[in-house]
Amino acid sequence: MSSQNIYILAIESSCDDTAAAIMHNGKILSNIVANQKIHEDYGGVVPELASRAHQQNIVPVVDQAIKKANINTSQLNAIAFTRGPGLMGSLLVGTSFAKSLAYGLDIPLIDVNHMQAHILAHFIKEPDFDKPEFPFLAMTISGGHTQIVKVNHYFDMEVIGETIDDAVGEAFDKSGKILGLGYPAGPEIDKRAKLGNPKAFKFTKPKVDGLNFSFSGLKTAILYFIQREVKTNPNFVQEHLNDICASIQYTIIGILIDKLKLASKQTGIKHIAIGGGVSANSGIRQALKDGEQKFGWTTYIPKFEYTTDNAAMIAIVGYLKYLDGDYADQSVMATARLKI
C-alpha cells in the first residue's frame, strides 16, 4: 500500500470554519481554513449565517487548497468530507459540494465523523510528532464536545465519559462573555491567564460521578461571583481581569486532569492524547505534559493547526478509510448527531 501514490481532497464545514486540505500518502500538502468573522458580532455561531458563509467560501477555499498543494484535480484519488456531527445547514454545504465534485471527477467519496477526526489527527505524518500507540485514551475538548474516548484502533472507539451539559469550550466562551470578552473567548482567556494568578479566586469544581463532566454550574458560579464583586467595586472585572482568567482556566484544567487521572486508573491505559479546539490551550498542553512526570503518562499533543477545526484531520481519516476501501455512495446524508 505504501508504494501507492494517494492524493485526498478533504472538506470540513461542520460549524463556522470552511476548510479544505490536500493530503499525499498521509502528509499534508495544504491546509486552508476560512474563519467566519461574522459571528463575533453576535457572541456565538448563528447557524443560518454560517451556512451562507460556507456557500461563499467553499469554492475559493477548495481552489486555494488545490493550488497551494500544486496538484490538479485529475490527480485526486478520493474526496473526504465531514458528514457530522455539526450544524445541519453547515454540513449540507460541504456534503453537497463533496458529492458533486466526486461525481464529476468519478472518484470515491468518503464520509468522515468530525469527532473521530479530532482524534485521528494524531496520525497525520509530521516530522516531530509521534503517533499514539493503541490502545490510548483521547480527550476531545471543543466548543461542541467534551469526551474521553478509549481508542482501541482507528475505527474502534468507545466513549467512556462525556459532558452532561455544556462542552468545555462553552465554559471558556460563556465565562468570557460574562467578562465582556469577544467570541470565541478561549484564546483570549488563555493569553490573559499567562499574566494572572491562577489561585487568586477559587471556584468550586462540579461533583459529577465517574468519567462524566459538567460545566454549566461553573458558568453560573462565575456569573454570581462577578455580580457580587461588582456590587462593591464597579471596576472589579477591569482591575482583576488577568487573575480572573487565570483562575477560571486553572479550575477548568483541574476538572479535565482529574477525569483523565480517573480514566487512566480505571482502564490501566497510560497513553493519553488530546484533541479539539480547547487542546490549543497552553495551560492544558502544559498540564498534560506534566502528567508524564507525575503519573507516568505518555502524552500526545496535536500540532497547533490541527487543534481547532480544520480539514487536515478530515484528510487523514479519508486516507485511512481509502486504504480500507471504505467508501460512501452518493446517497450518503449529512447527519447533525453522529456518534463516534
State the Cα angle at 111 between 168 and 142, rounded to 5°.
Answer: 10
**Toward Zn ion, which CB reaches closer, 85 or 108?**
85
H/E stretch holding 299 reads strand 298-300
- Asked if 257 interacts with ligand KG4 (CB under 6 A), we say no
Question: What single letter denotes the amino acid at residue 239?
Answer: E
3-state secondary structure of 298: strand
Q: Which of 66, 278, 312, 338 binds ligand KG4 (CB under 6 A)?
A: 278
Residue 169 contact, options ligand KG4, Zn ion, none, Cβ 5-8 Å cut-off depending on partner type = ligand KG4
CB 168 within 8 A of CB 252: yes
Question: What single letter denotes the amino acid at residue 145?
Answer: H
- Asked if 172 interacts with ligand KG4 (CB under 6 A), we say yes
Residue 308 burial class via C-beta count within 10 angstroms: exposed 0-12, middle 13-18, buried 19 and up: buried
User: Do the bridges between strand 271-275 and strand 136-141 make them parallel or antiparallel, or are there none, so unpaired?
Assistant: parallel
Residue 184 contact, options Zn ion, ligand KG4, none, Cβ 5-8 Å cut-off depending on partner type = ligand KG4
Q: Considering only 32-40, 104-112, 124-132, 181-189, which stretch makes contact with ligand KG4 by CB under 6 A?
A: 181-189
| Beta bridge mates, 275 | 140
Q: Which of 111, 166, 173, 243 binds ligand KG4 (CB under 6 A)?
A: 173
Backbone φ and ψ for 80, nearest 5 degrees, come out as -105, 145
Least Å from the CB of residue 106 to ligand KG4: 32
- Asked if 198 interacts with ligand KG4 (CB under 6 A), we say no
Q: What is the DSSP letter of 21?
A: E
CB 78 within 8 A of CB 8: yes
Nearest residue to ligand KG4, scored by beta-carbon proximity: 277
Q: Considering only 19-27, 263-271, 276-284, 328-336, which stretch makes contact with ligand KG4 by CB under 6 A?
A: 276-284
- Asked if 18 interacts with ligand KG4 (CB under 6 A), we say no
Q: Considering only 26-34, 103-111, 257-265, 277-285, which stretch makes contact with ligand KG4 by CB under 6 A?
A: 277-285
Least Å from the CB of residue 118 to Zn ion: 6
Q: Which of 89, 108, 143, 302 binds ligand KG4 (CB under 6 A)?
A: 143
